[in-house]
């Protein structure tokens, strides 16, 4: 039988700390939250591997622990912040955010994943799991201090700017393949400016692919 407590320590010490995640709140949350509860039963032995982890039999995955930890740290989530977690899947990233933020709105469009997230997060009083198209965000809960995309986007996420407070942050992985980068965006007035923060890769979220162009 897998020693999940030991696996969790190894994940934090061997994957997350070594990737320059120093925020003690993030490290504490990832040390305590049982990630195996957020993966399909057939995959519990893989819950702490250093990879994105499929959760729906298709393209949806939990972010690699290192990528999740670095994105949350970069977003500088505060104890009173309101956070929109886009593409929460089964809710592991939401659970980490809930230990740090004041309120988390977890958005998911896949019905099976919504059900799994609601079951896994039922005890989190500062979490609301909502369902709708990921690309539209969740305007009823806006404005947010932080928006986190739990997956990659091939397009700059300008559509979320109006759901951010002025000075709000958006963290995501931009691009597909080996050239992808984790990005941190800030809203300043009517502009959304961003900068790359580290090399990263993730599965593209539904609806976040580039529109194909044709050359003649």
Looking at residue 70, which CATH number applies to its domain? 3.40.50.150
What's the pLDDT at 176?
86
Q: CA-to-CA distance for 21 and 198, rounded, in angstroms?
A: 12
What average pLDDT does the segment 45-72 reach? 94
| β-strand pairing of 144-153 with 127-131 | unpaired
Assigned domain for 10 exists: no
What is the residue range of 78's domain?
A: 50-199
pLDDT at 214 exceeding the cut of 80: no
pLDDT of 111 above 70: yes
| Number of domains forming the structure of the chain | 1
In a domain, residue 211? The reply is: no
Is 103 part of any domain? yes
In a domain, 58, yes or no: yes
Start-to-end CA distance of the chain, whole Å, equals 59
> pTM, whole model, 2 decimals?
0.95
Assess if residue 165 is contained within a domain.
yes
- Look at residue 63 and tell me if it is in a domain: yes
Q: Provide the strand spans (E) within 48-180.
A: 53-54, 61-62, 82-86, 103-108, 127-131, 144-153, 164-174
Q: Report whether 40 contacts 62 (CB < 8 A).
A: no
């Amino acid at each position: 039988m897998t020693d999940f407590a030991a696996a969790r320590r190894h994940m934090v010490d061997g994957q997350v700390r070594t990737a320059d995640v120093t925020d003690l709140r993030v490290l504490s949350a990832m040390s305590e939250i049982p990630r195996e509860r957020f993966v399909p039963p057939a995959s519990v032995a893989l819950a702490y591997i250093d990879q994105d982890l499929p959760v729906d039999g298709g393209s949806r995955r939990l972010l690699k622990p290192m990528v999740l930890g670095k994105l949350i740290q970069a977003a500088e989530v505060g104890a009173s912040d309101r956070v929109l977690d886009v593409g929460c899947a089964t809710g592991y990233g939401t659970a980490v955010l809930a230990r740090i933020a004041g309120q988390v709105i977890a958005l998911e469009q896949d019905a099976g994943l919504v059900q799994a997230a609601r079951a896994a997060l039922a005890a989190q009083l500062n979490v609301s799991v909502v369902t709708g198209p990921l690309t539209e965000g969740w305007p009823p809960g806006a404005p947010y201090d932080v928006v986190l995309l739990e997956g990659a986007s091939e397009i700059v996420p300008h559509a979320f700017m109006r759901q951010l407070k002025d000075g709000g942050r958006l963290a995501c992985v931009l691009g597909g393949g080996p050239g992808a980068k984790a990005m941190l965006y800030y809203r300043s007035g009517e502009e959304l400016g961003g900068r790359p923060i580290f090399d990263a890769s993730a599965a593209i979220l539904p609806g976040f692919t580039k529109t194909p162009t044709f050359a003649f």
